[in-house]
Structure 1
Amino acid sequence: MELPSVVVLPLLIVVAAGIYYVYNEVLQFMSKSLVRNKVVVITDAVSGVGSECAQLFHKGGARLVLCGTSWDKLESLFDSLTSDADPKETFAPKLVILDFSDMESMEEVVSEVVDCYGCVDVLVCNSSMKLKAPVQSVSLELDRNIMDINYFGPSTLAKGILPTMISRRSGHILLVNSIQGRLAVPFRSSYAASKHAAQAFFDCLRAEVEEYGVSVSTISHTFINATTPEPEAKSPAKPVGGLAAFIASKLTHGVSPSALANEIVRTVNRKRKEVLLAHPIPRVALHLRSLFPPFLFSVLAAGVKDSVMAEQM
């Protein structure tokens, strides 16, 4: 006897949801086994995203090398990871002071990172410095500082660790970048420039090291939103302030640290080369940049004149 058509659709939805649930459970189980015993280096591990990453990799049995600029914060993270951990299932992390704004110390830091375990399986470049300001107000010194932290630091660290990966013909380098490495937004000139540079460097690196069995991934995300969104209060509808204001309102929906950390672990496990973690509006803007750049430029220019756009971006 055939099922009524009214029942078929809900039944298909339930079956699809069940398959999706099982699929995610299998991936989660595999993710733990895939990182077990792997040497994973995380820069800026004391940040929201870095600490979430550390938690996930640590639970998966990875041998962590946690890098940061503050020894006190690194020790605090160490304590939070090891306090309730099973020493039979996890490894105590190793801590390394790393400050990309001090490029003269990079050679010594690279040696210290490699010496922790003698090799590196996964390098997660997570460090970032943000800046919002008009072009004419940013000093050359600040420009250089942003380039050191966002571009020269990660690229120098990757270059230093790369020989050990090439010699072992295995390894994974992952750059946690920003969507502004592919799409420039007003009042972010220095930040966007550094992210564009990092994106280009790691794109080139990916092609150059593929023959050695080394994987390179980039994750481009919208801004990281560590706050819990408040419920919207019911209020009379406000007039829309144009297309620019609409885009700006959509860009305020950021990515949570936990969501980004989970994506980092998935990217490492699946060896995906490029990931875009963004809501539909930024994705559309990227397509407009490629297909209809004059239109996007006009929208962005209009947004600069619009006080709403200037404040929200």
Structure 2
Amino acid sequence: MFRLYRKYIERKRRNALEGKVVIITGASSGIGEALSHVFYEYGCKVILASRRKSELERVKHDLMCKKVEYPVPEPLVIELDLSDTHQFELFIQKVLDSCEKIDILINNGGVSHRGSIIHTKMDVYEKIMNINYFGSVALTKAVLPHMIARKTGHIVFVSSVQGLIAIPDRSAYAAAKHALQAFGDCLRAEMNQYNIDVSVVSPGYVKTAVSINALTSSGNNHGVMDKSTAQGFSAEYCATKILDMVVNKNNEAIVSQAVPRLAVYLRQAFPSLYFYIMARRAIKTA
């Protein structure tokens, strides 16, 4: 029975994804790199996008060295800086010139934050909001006219559990992810008439370099792998869950361990208790 179920899932994924053109931002590492692998394995034309072109070429090489059961289109590498929104229309045009269509946009690229509100500089807030929120919004707006004209498409936002709750020393990151959640909800309602799906996924702790690359209150890299991050889900597991969310056209999903899920529940059902716990955490971390 398990083997039959497994074959059914594999067939369902391939039928839904084979031949689709998928843009993945932040594809040079972490969840983005893992997403590139799983979508490639199911026959997608993967557009690898991030600032680090050399790392994108490495990811492309790894993909093309994979042994896959069916022929897969060659991945396309295009350099993209999410903080420079003026280049997005040109980026989308490059994709269309090469692929003629865009089926799925996965807004995954972003940067995290470690630092108290009182010590975090305003330019850190601005940088994180520009990359995590405005970058995703602007890229989405650049691709929408094409999807609306075709009356088909799927927009995915990789948010975070911290887009649903907020914890001390993550204010810039949590604020940007909260904004992304709200934008995704508005977009989903407005795009329904055009047959365009919108999904928001909220991962918990995932074992990537997100904490190492996080910006501190001064704007420097945190440079430390947090214990909770090191013990998180693998990027591959998270990527597979996102792929299935796309296949099933789910509006939203939480991919998280029990404790963050409990925190989301407490924030909704027992907010006073949640606020007390966060206040105690702030004192402890200070």
Could you tell me how far 1:251 is from its partner in structure 2?
8.4
Q: Give the superposition deviation at 1:57.
A: 1.3
**Aligned position for 1:126:** 108
2:98 matched to 1:116?
Answer: yes
Deviations 1:186-233 (A, max 9, x none): 110000000000110011100110111100001101122149xxxxxx
Q: Percent identity?
A: 32
How far 1:282 sits from its partner (Å)?
A: 1.5
Q: Is the 8 A contact 2:208 2:229 kept in 1?
A: no
Deviation track 1:39-66 (CA, whole Å, cap 9, x = no partner) reads: 1111111112112111111121111111
Task: Tell me, in whole angstroms, the C-alpha distance in 2 between the residues paired with 1:136 and 1:110.
Answer: 39
Contact 2:85 2:139 in 1 (8 A): no
Contact 2:88 2:138 in 1 (8 A): yes
Query: 1:87-236 counterparts in 2 under 5 A?
Result: 89-226=71-208
Distance (Å, rounded) in 1 between the aligned partners of 2:182 and 2:66: 41
User: Which ranges in structure 2 are unaligned for 5 or more consecutive residues?
Assistant: 210-225
Is 1:114–1:161's contact at 8 Å kept on the other side of the alignment? no
Which of 253, 257, 263 aligns to 1:279? It is 257
Do the aligned residues in 2 keep the contact of 1:39 with 1:121 (CA within 8 Å)?
Answer: yes
1:301 paired to 2:279: yes
* Structure 1 residue 84: Cα displacement: 4.4
Q: Measure how far apart 1:116 and its partner are.
A: 2.6
The correspondence of residues 28-39 of structure 1 with structure 2, limited to 5 A, is 28-39=10-21
- Find the residue that maps to 1:135 and give its secondary structure: coil
Partners of 1:102 and 1:276 lie apart in 2 by 29
Amino acid at match of 2:163: G
1: CA distance between counterparts of 2:230 and 2:53?
33
Give the drift of 1:29.
2.4
Distance 1:180 1:86, change over 3 A: closer
SS of equivalent to 2:74 = coil
Give a deviation string over 1:163-189, Cα, whole Å, max 9, x none: 111111111111111000010111100
**Larger-gyration structure (1/2):** 1
Q: Which amino acid is the alignment partner of residue 100 of structure 1?
A: L
Q: How many residues are aligned here?
A: 270
Question: How far apart, in 2, do the equivalents of 1:110 and 1:173 lie?
Answer: 14
RMSD after superposition: 2.2
Letter in 1 for 2:53: W
Residues 222 and 277, structure 1, Cα contact 8 Å, conserved in 2:
yes
Q: How far is the alpha carbon of 1:267 from its aligned partner?
A: 0.8
Q: 1:252 to 1:84 in 2, by over 3 A?
A: closer
Contact 1:221 1:255 in 2 (8 A): no
Greater mean alpha carbon deviation, residues 216-225 or residues 75-84: 75-84
Pairwise CA distance, 1:26? 1.1
Pick closer, same or farther for the CA change 1:255–1:137 going to 2, 3 Å: same
When residues 269 and 141 of structure 1 are mapped into structure 2, their CA distance, relative to the original with a 3 A threshold, is same
Give the match's secondary structure for 1:96: strand
Q: Which amino acid aligns with 1:64?
A: V
Which residue identity lines up with residue 48 of structure 2 in the other structure? L
TM-score normalised by L of structure 2: 0.88
CA deviations 1:123-171 (Å, max 9, x no partner) are 1111110011000111111111100111000111111101111111111
Higher helix proportion, which one? 1
Name the CA distance, whole Å, in 1 between partners of 2:6 and 2:253. Answer: 18
Cα distance 1:165–1:302, how it changes in 2: closer, same or farther (>3 A)? same
Going from structure 1 to structure 2, the CA distance change for 1:105 and 1:249 (only over 3 Å counts) comes to: closer
1:250–1:281 contact (8 Å) kept in structure 2: no
Q: What's the offset of the Cα at 1:271?
A: 0.5
1:62 corresponds to which residue? 44
Alignment partners' CA distance in 2, 1:86 and 1:286 = 39
Give 1:240's aligned residue.
none
